[in-house]
């Protein structure tokens, strides 16, 4: 009885895992079970045997099915395929070089799996491809120069992998590309100047790599680009003025590099921009007044640079702005009252600069339109009186130096009465109306050092 029970279990087990398919001549088993058991499978070559017809398989899409396993080398026998989509199927292992036999393919989609290994150079045989999508895997190694053979490509996605090495100059052969995404890899070296040949590009993503060197001036040839992402690399040198020719750009991200020099006035040519990210570089000089021509801007991030001079009043033309970040620069002068025109702002960050003078009351327009907006002005040289709409958190510590500095009782003179009042503040007997006037030793606290500095001011 025990032997019989074990035999039954064995038979059930074999049925559950399958004995393998019995393919007819001219058919192949891809190792994913009976193709007839996949409801809504988009394939015209699935046969009664559960195998795929070599001659009659033109479209094969397992999109979204949990195949789990590897891509069988047998797939290279389906040489009539024009579309192969195995995306979102939890595939593992390497892409077999036999995939290079599928020379009739126009679309190859293997994205968002767990594929490993290198991209085989045989992929360069697929000269009829118009779309190649391998993003969202764990692919390694370099992009082979054979990629330049795929001159019919319009869309190429290698993003979100672990690819290394340089971008091959042969990429410039792909003159029909409209989308090129190589972002989120570990690519290094210079951006090849041949990228300027890709004049049909609408989207170019090279961000989040280890690219170095200068931005090639030839990039200005890409006048059809709407999105350009070069952020989070190690690019250096100046922003080429030729980029002012890219008049269709809506999103430009050059952030988190080592770019130097000034922001060219040609930036004002990019009137279709909605998002401009130049933050976290080493840019110097003033913001050109032509920035005010970018009236479609929603996001403007210039923070964490070495920009100086005054904030141009033309910035008040950017009435669609929701985020304006100028933090951690060397801006001086007064806050232009035209910023009060930016009533759609959600974030106005001007902290850690050298701004001086009084804060214009018109900034309250921002809070009136959106009470939950954030206005951060800390660590400047802005002087009271401050607009009533701003909280102590908005203003923060200021290093104000004017006729009122040290005049704690606001009587127009600095004398023994101010020392007395300052002692009361320190002892907690009363609260200062304008903290920054009494914090003469600007450390964010009222203490004996403020008294020492105040006495020195009176004696001198």
The CATH topology of domain 2-292 is 3.80.10
Q: What is the mean pLDDT of residues 56-81?
A: 95
Which class would CATH give 293-402?
A: alpha beta
**2-292 and 293-402 share one CATH topology?**
yes
Evaluate whether 67 touches 95 at the Cβ level (below 8 Å). no
Give the whole-angstrom CA distance, residue 391 versus residue 247: 41
Q: What is the mean pLDDT of residues 160-168?
A: 98
Q: What's the confidence (pLDDT) of residue 202?
A: 98
Domain coordinates in residue numbering, the chain: 2-292, 293-402, 416-459
More confident residue, 331 or 454: 331
Evaluate whether 149 touches 172 at the Cβ level (below 8 Å). no
| Chain segment 88-109, per-residue pLDDT in tens | 999 999 999 999 999 999 999 9
Evaluate whether 35 touches 51 at the Cβ level (below 8 Å). yes
- Of residues 260, 171, 270, 266, the one with CA closest to residue 227: 270
Give the whole-angstrom CA distance, residue 30 versus residue 362: 69
pLDDT of 423 over the 70 cut? yes
- Confidence band for 16, pLDDT divided at 50, 70 and 90: very low
């Amino acid at each position: 009885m025990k032997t019989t029970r074990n035999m039954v279990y064995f038979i059930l087990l074999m049925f559950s895992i399958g004995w393998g398919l019995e393919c007819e001549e001219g058919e192949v088993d891809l190792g994913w079970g009976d193709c007839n058991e996949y409801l809504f499978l988009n394939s015209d070559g699935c046969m009664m045997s559960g195998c795929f017809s070599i001659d009659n398989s033109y479209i094969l899409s397992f999109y979204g099915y949990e195949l789990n396993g590897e891509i069988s080398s047998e797939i290279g026998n389906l040489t009539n395929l024009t579309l192969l989509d195995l995306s979102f199927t939890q595939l593992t292992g390497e892409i077999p070089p036999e995939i290079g036999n599928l020379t009739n393919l126009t679309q190859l989609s293997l994205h968002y799996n767990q594929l490993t290994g290198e991209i085989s150079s045989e992929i360069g045989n697929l000269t009829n491809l118009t779309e190649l999508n391998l993003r969202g895997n764990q692919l390694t190694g370099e992009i082979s120069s054979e990629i330049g053979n795929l001159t019919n490509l319009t869309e190429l996605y290698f993003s979100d992998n672990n690819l290394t090495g340089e971008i091959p100059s042969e990429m410039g052969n792909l003159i029909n590309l409209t989308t090129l995404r190589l972002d989120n890899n570990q690519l290094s070296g210079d951006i090849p100047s041949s990228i300027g040949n890709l004049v049909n590009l609408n989207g170019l993503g090279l961000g989040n790599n280890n690219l170095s060197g200068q931005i090639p001036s030839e990039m200005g040839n890409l006048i059809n680009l709407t999105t350009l992402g070069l952020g989070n690399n190690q690019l250096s040198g100046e922003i080429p003025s030729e980029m002012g020719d890219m008049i269709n750009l809506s999103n430009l991200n050059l952030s988190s590099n080592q770019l130097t020099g000034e922001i060219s006035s040609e930036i004002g040519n990019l009137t279709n921009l909605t998002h401009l990210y130049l933050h976290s570089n080493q840019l110097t000089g003033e913001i050109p007044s032509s920035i005010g021509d970018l009236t479609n801007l929603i996001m403007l991030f210039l923070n964490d640079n070495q920009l100086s001079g005054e904030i141009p009043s033309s910035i008040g033309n950017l009435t669609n702005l929701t985020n304006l970040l100028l933090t951690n620069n060397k801006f001086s002068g007064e806050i232009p009252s035209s910023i009060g025109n930016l009533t759609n702002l959600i974030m106005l960050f001007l902290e850690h600069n050298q701004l001086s003078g009084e804060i214009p009351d018109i900034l309250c327009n921002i809070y009136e339109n959106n009470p939950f907006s954030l206005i951060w002005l800390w660590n400047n040289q802005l002087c009271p009186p401050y607009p009533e709409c701003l909280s102590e958190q908005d203003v923060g510590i200021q290093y104000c130096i004017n006729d009122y500095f040290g005049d704690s009782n606001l009587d127009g003179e600095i004398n023994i009465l101010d020392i007395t009042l300052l002692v009361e503040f320190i002892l907690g007997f009363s609260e200062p109306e304008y903290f920054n006037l009494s914090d003469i030793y600007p450390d964010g606290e009222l203490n004996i050092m403020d008294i020492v500095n105040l006495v020195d001011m009176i004696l001198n």
